[in-house]
Amino acid sequence: YFRRAIDAAKSSSEFDMDEILVLESNHLLVLGQQDRVVRMLFEGIKRYPQSAALNRALALLQSRRGDLVGALRTVDMMQAAQVDPLPSIMLRKELLCEADRYDDAVKLLEDVLAREDLADPVSLQLELAWLYMQRANWPQARRWLEASRKANPEDMRTTEVLSELAWCTEDWELLEQCESALRAVEGTYGPLWRTFRIRRLLAQSNAGSEKASQAQAEVDNLARQLEVLYPHMQQTRIAAGRVATYRGLMRRAVANYEEAWELGLPRVSLAVDLISLLNELGESDRAQRYVREVRRFLSATQAVVDQSFLELANESADEAVRMAESLVADAPRSESYVRLGRT
């Protein structure tokens, strides 16, 4: 069916042919036909030299075949052929990270951000912040995120990443600021600020807050609001799972996490929580089902040369492990080691 769909798309004028070629290359890579894909991508770039999708696919494949020099050369050609430098900058950063050259990736982004002619500095600032977070350099990450938020106060991307930093560093005051910023953008009925607030209130209750009972009542109210307003959103079910876990209702938590699993793309963080709960309940067979599912999913995505087509955002296995490792390095508490071991 997929082969027929690709052939039909090639004969249609409604689709961008370069992106169709990338989809076809991903399909062939899953089938193990790397040499054929390399030839196809080189031919595609000859026809569409300005295609960010084709150049990106070729550079990533070259890198994963051990040819970093060739991959960076492809990025150079891509940069020379394009008007917008952002895609080639992002790709170069990604290749450097894959080669464990994080310092070079940081320097690349900082040098670019020092220029004043950038059309989209926010994307680069977020990428730089993530790099610093994965190295447990929280002050530098926060510095770039605060600068981005100051320049673009209504950009939800910055606030979301800043809230993740606040969660990792247990900076509840900052996380509360992020909630307020998201609420100002989303409005009273928005979902994201509610999920962040639930997460913060639960953590503060666990920390022995004097207003624990009041916070628990608010958490229940926020969870009910999400159920009414966004009953089929994955984050609603994840929030319900967290509330149930906090109250010791493990089977209810599992039910919510399983429903969340069915509502969206597999998420590494969700898999970690669901599998660990099932193991605690002695449901090893059910836990192994999700272990197999996430392994199959990650195995398939590793075969696909350009995982951005899958919209995985910041949920890749490698990034989840790096974040868990950075938490252990920065704050070697028992729960940090538990998170790393589970991941």
DSSP readout, 181-243? Answer: HHHHHH-TT-SHHHHHHHHHHHHHHHTT-TTHHHHHHHHHHHHHHHHHH-TT-HHHHHHHHHH
User: What is the chain's mean pLDDT, rounded?
Assistant: 81
HSE-up (13 A, CA, CB side) for residue 283: 15
Looking at residue 9, what is its pLDDT? 64
Q: Structure tokens of 289? A: 């089902």
Phi and psi, residue 49, nearest 5°:
-65, -25
Cβ neighbours of residue 56 under 8 Å, at least 6 residues apart? Answer: 78, 87, 91, 306, 308
How far apart are the C-alpha atoms of 175 and 274, rounded to whole Å?
Answer: 25
How far apart are the C-alpha atoms of 113 and 170, rounded to whole Å?
Answer: 28
Looking at residue 329, what is its pLDDT? 53
Cα–Cα–Cα angle for 170, 174, 180, rounded to 5 degrees: 130
**Mapping DSSP to helix (H, G, I), strand (E, B) and coil, where does residue 316 land?**
coil
Q: Structure tokens of 215? A: 């916070």
Cα 80 from chain centre: 29
Looking at residue 119, what is its pLDDT? 78
Looking at residue 1, what is its pLDDT? 57
How far apart are the C-alpha atoms of 200 and 242, rounded to whole Å?
Answer: 11
Cβ neighbours of residue 238 under 8 Å, at least 6 residues apart? Answer: 195, 256, 257, 260, 270
Looking at residue 230, what is its pLDDT? 94
pLDDT tens over the chain, length 343 residues: 566 766 676 676 656 788 888 888 888 887 888 899 999 999 999 988 888 889 999 999 999 889 999 999 999 998 888 778 888 999 999 999 889 899 999 999 999 999 877 778 888 999 999 999 888 899 999 999 998 988 888 888 899 889 888 888 889 899 999 999 999 989 999 999 999 899 888 888 765 556 677 888 899 999 999 999 999 899 899 999 999 998 889 999 999 999 998 887 667 678 888 888 888 898 888 888 887 777 666 555 444 444 443 343 344 445 555 544 554 455 555 454 444 444 4
The answer to whether 71 and 91 are in contact (CB under 8 A) is no
Looking at residue 209, what is its pLDDT? 53
Looking at residue 246, what is its pLDDT? 87
The answer to whether 146 and 128 are in contact (CB under 8 A) is no
Cα 329 from chain centre: 21
Q: What is the CA radius of gyration of the chain?
A: 22
How far apart are the C-alpha atoms of 89 and 105, rounded to whole Å?
Answer: 10
Looking at residue 85, what is its pLDDT? 85
Q: Is 296 exposed, middle or buried (0-12, 13-18, 19+ CB in 10 A)?
A: exposed
Q: Structure tokens of 95? A: 């290749």
Question: Which ranges of 100-155 does DSSP label H, i.e. alpha helix?
Answer: 102-113, 121-134, 138-151
Residue for token digits 């008007």? 83
